[in-house]
Amino acid sequence: MTRKVHVETWGCQMNVADSEKMLSLLQGMDYVLTEDEKEADLFLLNTCHIREKAKHKVISRLGMLREMKKQRPGVQIAVTGCVAQAEGAKLLKEAPQIDVLVGPGKIDELPALIQKSTVEGTAAMATGFNKPGDELKRGHHDHNTGTVPPTLTGKNEVTRFVNIIQGCNNFCTFCIVPFTRGREISRQPGEILAETRRLVEGGAREVMLLGQNVNSYGLDLVEKGDLAAGNDGPFVELLRQVANTPGLQRLRFTTSNPHDFTRPLAQLFADDPRMGRYMHLPVQSGNDRVLEVMRRKVTVEEYRERIRWLRDAVPDMAISTDLIVGFPGETDAEFEDTLKLVEEVQYSFIYAFKYSPRKGTAAARMPGQLPEAVMDERLARLNALQDSITMRQTEAECGAVREVLFLYESKKSPGVFYGRTEHFRLVRVESSRPLVGECLPVLITGGNKTALVGELADRITLH
Ligand code: SF4
């Protein structure tokens, strides 16, 4: 009998990829995806633990589902993702309405756990990680069947995500990831290439390779003797092979730690136009003392060097970053260093966050936790600076012709299409013909800090 699953995904793209994988596993159990909560037999909450607020949202959502379960006792609730891993049995105690709880390292066990919970009528749980050196199956389960893995929207998506490495060995002092995702374990290149091929055959035009620390891809496989290191390292080698997937227009990857970022990787952007002209390289702070207590393993000067590698390779390289304001002990002068770096690098955009302590991390125990008002003020100054930079870049874009890969049509305004330039700027274009999935030249005519506006320039040839 066909049953229906309602999937709710919080957090990063890795969670989106994990949700798609779980959906694929559930399809094998005869579940179909539904957007309508009222007809769902199973609620799958794929959670994020990166900020305290994200966890609170999950708890409040579980409260609503508890009420709903009183009306419809047959409904099952599965909680997966980083909150499931971090909270484990404690969360089951707090929220007995949960039927299944699965950490990100145990996704493959989801069908068996649902089965177990259904038969035994009790909660079933699996958390923990594969050990380094274990075989990692982080792909969609149908890699043997040759079918295209499902999307969370039920539609063919232009961009698809492929997890290539799980976990992180870096232990930045503010970050919960090494505790919720475990140590780095890479997937075999053959499996990644096969999955990418199937996604492109199924209609994807852009693939995003994902890892918490994606630049470290393959180092564990080289250590095990499963993979030759090659001259430029296993990640660059993988990117070269994936980029050659027939029909793939763009290849992106995230997230990169500057510590593991290499010059050959920067050079790849110059050598292969499918890599685009955009890179996200999180720095977190523009001050050396703060970087040291964050345990980022690079200095500001070493970070600048990586920016130079990128811009030597591609002079108009667009770069974005992550920044934390108000890290414990951050002084006004140290924060000013962050502003200086932002001004100097001229990022195309930033993800700036107020520091929020994550239980279990070293930074949460550090002295000098800053008042909310100080962090608010710093965050506002940082965002205002970046807004002015982005607006200058928007003005400079006017009159340029950019190659835009169209990703989706506005639900509210049919005939309005959105895509991204090679520099990853969002572009809005009106068109009477469908554009989704096409890569076309667009004349930029205006825009704001969020999106550029343009018109199709089909007859213009790009050089
Ligand atoms: S490199 Fe990224 S994922 Fe790893 S600990 Fe640091 S911030 Fe977290």
Question: Domain boundary at 67, 91, 126, which?
Answer: 126
| Low-confidence winner among 32-41, 49-58, 185-194, 335-344 (lowest mean pLDDT) | 49-58
Looking at the fold, whether 414 and 352 belong to one and the same domain comes out as no
* Confidence class for position 152, pLDDT limits 50, 70, 90: confident
Pocket test for ligand 1, best of 13, 85, 166, 177 (most atoms within 8 A of CB): 177
Whether the CB-CB separation of 220 and 185 falls below 8 Å is answered with yes
What's the 236 CA to ligand 1 centre distance in angstroms? Answer: 20
What's the 411 CA to ligand 1 centre distance in angstroms? Answer: 35
What's the 168 CA to ligand 1 centre distance in angstroms? Answer: 6
Res 1 pLDDT > 80: no
Which atom of ligand 1 is least distant from the CA of 295?
A: 6
What's the 287 CA to ligand 1 centre distance in angstroms? Answer: 18
> Does the Cβ of 257 fall within 6 Å of ligand 1?
yes
CA 39 from centre of chain: 30
Residue 21 sits at the vertex; the CA angle it makes with 217 and 212, to the nearest 5 degrees, is 30
How far is the C-alpha of 103 from the C-alpha of 53, rounded, in Å?
19
Which alpha helices (DSSP H) does 137-294 contain, by range? Answer: 177-181, 189-201, 219-224, 234-243, 263-271, 288-293
> Does the Cβ of 170 fall within 6 Å of ligand 1?
yes
Domain range for 227 is 141-396
Res 229 pLDDT > 80: no
Q: What is the pLDDT of residue 136?
A: 52
- Give the bridge partners for 159, in sequence order: 206
Mean pLDDT of the chain: 90
Looking at the fold, whether 256 and 108 belong to one and the same domain comes out as no
Q: Confirm whether 134 is domain-assigned.
A: no
Q: What is the pLDDT of residue 141?
A: 41
Q: Confirm whether 451 is domain-assigned.
A: yes
Looking at the fold, whether 156 and 242 belong to one and the same domain comes out as yes
What's the 257 CA to ligand 1 centre distance in angstroms? Answer: 7
Which atom of ligand 1 is least distant from the CA of 296?
A: 6
pTM across the whole model: 0.83
Per-residue model confidence as pLDDT tens digits over 95-143: 999 999 999 888 889 988 998 898 888 899 998 876 655 555 544 444 4
Rounded mean pLDDT, 84-98: 89
Q: Is 132 exposed, middle or buried (0-12, 13-18, 19+ CB in 10 A)?
A: middle
Per-residue model confidence as pLDDT tens digits over 235-293: 999 999 999 999 999 999 998 999 999 999 999 999 999 999 999 999 999 999 999 99
Q: β-strands 401-409, 439-447: how paired?
A: antiparallel
> Does the Cβ of 172 fall within 6 Å of ligand 1?
yes
Which atom of ligand 1 is least distant from the CA of 171?
A: 5
Q: Which tokens sit at 423?
A: 């520099």
Question: Domain boundary at 396, 415, 439, which?
Answer: 396
Looking at the fold, whether 243 and 374 belong to one and the same domain comes out as yes
Higher pLDDT among residues 57 and 416, named by residue: 416
What's the 385 CA to ligand 1 centre distance in angstroms? Answer: 26
Per-residue model confidence as pLDDT tens digits over 17-42: 889 889 888 988 889 999 999 999 99
Per-residue model confidence as pLDDT tens digits over 447-463: 999 999 999 997 555 54
CA 242 from centre of chain: 18
> Does the Cβ of 167 fall within 6 Å of ligand 1?
no
Looking at the fold, whether 295 and 172 belong to one and the same domain comes out as yes
Looking at the fold, whether 307 and 274 belong to one and the same domain comes out as yes
Q: What is the pLDDT of residue 273?
A: 93
> Does the Cβ of 165 fall within 6 Å of ligand 1?
no
Res 88 pLDDT > 80: yes
Which protein residue has the closest C-alpha to ligand 1 atom 8? 175
What's the 212 CA to ligand 1 centre distance in angstroms? Answer: 7
Q: What is the pLDDT of residue 20?
A: 87
CATH number of the structural domain spanning residue 363? 3.80.30.20
Q: What total of structural domains would you count in the chain? A: 3
Looking at the fold, whether 185 and 275 belong to one and the same domain comes out as yes
